[in-house]
Structure 1
Amino acid sequence: MNGKNTTTSTQYLTFTLGAEVFAVDIAKIREVLEYSSVTKVPRTPDFMCGVINLRGSVVPVVDMRLKFNMGQSEKSVNTCIIILEIAQDDGVVVMGALVDSVREVMELEPDQVEPPPKIGMRLRAEFLKGMGKQDGRFIMILDIDKIFSIEELSAVQSAAA
């Protein structure tokens, strides 16, 4: 052992919802798609937009603004669907996240990430891995595996089936 610090930086995909900037670990991202039509599925949670056909697979799409109680997304030329892999007890759920725009892939060192505040947040603290800082602005780093409950993931999966 050489005694060097073994902490490594992590890459994140950043995206916007309204004026807020969020980030997800790039390891959870399968791909980013331009917004295309989403087929609505009846009797699904309010935050679920519907499903898309992704190379022959049915993928559920969730409006992240509705999930975070930020009002429904207004579609624009920048609207994207981020295809995520969410860990669940019995495997991985592939799901689309509708976001206002995708910004960039950025790298953060562990010392650039602070714990999330306990109060004053629109999101529940357990949804966040931490708060990153870039150019004097905070970026909310999401713990994508904790945002959706088992019941919500089951509802989303059954809608896609």
Structure 2
Amino acid sequence: MTVNKEESQYVTFALGKEIFAVPVEVVREILDYEDLFRIPNGPEYLLGLRDVRGQGVPTIDLRLKLGLTKTEPTANTRVLVLDIPLEERTLSLGMVADRVFEVIPFRRSQIEPAPEIGIRWSSDYIAGVVRRDEGFVVIIDLARLLSSGDTALLSSRYAA
């Protein structure tokens, strides 16, 4: 199989009307939403722990992390189970999305740098944006989205 260095695969998902993407290589699996084991005194965006094949995986509401309204689960709500490479380790994390669409390839030439103004979120954790007929797809840099304090909290305090 030939690997195309000019193209990368992404999983696209929605939060409200906005479309986001993460690299397919960090997505371990996509699960239906279910109630979670609530963790007392955790940050608001931390919904709780989810059992994923015998591992307790902390699960976040990405909408809250981005400053949007809390997710109201529907039949389309999914949890992306991610393995996010950090400097010294891999962080396993569940991330709630309103709906998951598809795996789609983006050519490097399609990915534009994050604009400094004109979007609702801080550009610090945006790896790039891709223009599509329906609008933009925002590619999230998960390691930058989760501050070092977040990753320490999620990986040590709630490790199974």
- What is the letter of the counterpart of residue 23 of structure 2? D
1:159 aligns with 2:155: no
1:132 corresponds in structure 2 to 130
Matches of 2:34 and 2:119 in 1, distance apart?
A: 31
Matches of 1:103 and 1:31 in 2, distance apart?
A: 14
Unpaired runs of at least 5, structure 1: 1-5
Unpaired runs of at least 5, structure 2: none
Matches of 2:32 and 2:72 in 1, distance apart?
A: 14
Per-residue deviation at 1:121?
Answer: 2.3
1:79 corresponds in structure 2 to 77
Per-residue deviation at 1:145?
Answer: 1.4
Matched residue of 1:123: which SS?
Answer: coil
1:61 corresponds in structure 2 to 59
Residue 34 of structure 1 is aligned with which of 32, 35, 38?
A: 32
- CA offsets per residue over residues 14-72 of structure 1, 9 Å max, x none? 00001100000101111100101111100111100000111111000000000001110
TM-score, scaled to structure 2:
0.92
TM-score, scaled to structure 1:
0.92
Per-residue deviation at 1:120?
Answer: 2.6
Per-residue deviation at 1:119?
Answer: 1.4
Matches of 1:43 and 1:136 in 2, distance apart?
A: 40
1:50 aligns with 2:42: no
Identity %: 32
Matches of 1:135 and 1:105 in 2, distance apart?
A: 17
Which structure has the greater CA radius of gyration? 1
- What is the letter of the counterpart of residue 54 of structure 1? V
RMSD, aligned CA: 1.3
